[in-house]
Structure 1
Amino acid sequence: MTIRPRRSALYMPGSNARAIEKARTLAADIVILDLEDAVAPDAKEMARGQVAAAVRQGGFGPREIMVRINGLDTPWGATDLAELAGCGADVILLPKVSDAASLIATGEALAKAGMADNTRIWAMMETPLAMLNAGSIAAAASHPATRLSGFVMGTNDLAKETGARIVPGRAPMNAWLMTCLAAARAHGLAILDGVWNEIADEAGFVRECQEARDMGFDGKTLIHPNQIAPCNAAFSPADKDVAWARIIIAAFEQPENATKGAIQIEGRMVERLHADMGKRLVAIADAIAARA
């Protein structure tokens, strides 16, 4: 399994050429070039061409490049599909995915439009119907047409559509967050948390990053470059955890432990599943170190 750090995913307006250029130098693991919410209707066409050209030009280094297109129920979605399918982005991010059928249909349309074989599809989970259908949407990853490999939580849209308030700790939304996380993990998908809106509240942002990390999210979506460093710090494995994981892995690799399901290490009982978890943790840590 290839492990790729996805701690920080920064939205950048597709209409802002300076922002796109700056994205090539930032420490975000993912850059989301946005054609949807961040772009005014009269700038959609310009932004589409600008984003396509920027992705084809490259220069983003190890950063994963996502392009969030407009919904297919908008005047711009179909053209986004046609013009961006072959631009070479790592991921096409689909907004407001609410059921598996629409996801499959969109994947088939992207394939017909010439989407590269290695381009994946991620789904924005941001509608009440998506919360009810999270399991079937994630299960659509088994359908080859979808190329589905990840979820992105759209908490602002969820708040708008449900009336739920975004409060510290996000109690009104935690059930939805964990439902989507469980669905993603059940079907081998990555998953990113939603954005933090209060840019000036750094302590609140760090707290929410830590909460999302503890829930099990791979990373968090961001709206400002100043959020990258604290987000990366929150979602990076701690040195002490990596060191302990290496000890567990090494212990289970000893010939005398080859058939054992549980062993004692430094006075603690450790199961083989902890070694499996440790391998993923170490792989993430090594991948992060390779970017430094």
Structure 2
Amino acid sequence: MSPIDHFSFGLLTPVLAYVMSSVGSMLGLLLTSRARLIGGREGRYWLVGAAFAIGGTGIWTMHFIAMLGFSVSGTVIRYDVPLTAASALIAVTVVGMGLFLASYGGDRLGFLLGGGLLTGVGVASMHYLGMAAMNMSGLISYDPMVVSLSVLIAVAAATVALWFTLRVSGALRIGGAALVMGVAVSGMHYTGMYSMSVQTHSEMVPVHGAKAIDFLLPLIVGLSVITVGLLLAVILSPSEKELRSEAEFRARLRQRDEGAPEVDLFGTPRG
């Protein structure tokens, strides 16, 4: 088997990948926190933004930043552009489906586990589709046991992430949860990459496709611009405290109009 180097740029790519995963996860948790407080149709828009943040920035962008440090001795690596773009679409779609399923189910465990399974398998599919997009002068094989382990990690990480989106609020808790999610996503990525073996051909075979830097960089920059836009939307929107105060005020007005005892935001009678 040909030597594989996952860290051809040293710690630069794994550290940048982890940071990007944590940033995307943190932004996604901020957006889902807004979605819980706002609810209704507007809340669903925030969930769509969270799917782009977690799926696009936290998972897909992390994956391909890490792949920039991947090299195989004896061959160049090129990427199939349509397959790579499809992997990005899968990442955003499955995360969005998981978020909506978990949000719809609320406290019901079955919806959380179902959303985690759907999202985890989808993220693993994105990961291996991204790996399949690599073209090189060699024969690629995978260790089934390690592949299975990476899928289990993906499902567990997705379930925990969805649980965070339903429960976590506040800057410190969201920041801590995002760091944990970054570890989980990075762990799944490098576990999956460890399952891969390459036997290069004795004679160099022409390798077709695009260089990573030629199309990955524009895609990563594009997703980063979307991430900045979502972050600005969070910053410019009412704070969590303001949203809670507004919800409590509306609840008091509704109770007063109905002639019922006045209650606080959590339904506890006042006085």
TM-score for the superposition, normalised by structure 1? 0.25
Larger radius of gyration: 2
Higher strand share: 1
TM-score (norm: length of structure 2): 0.27
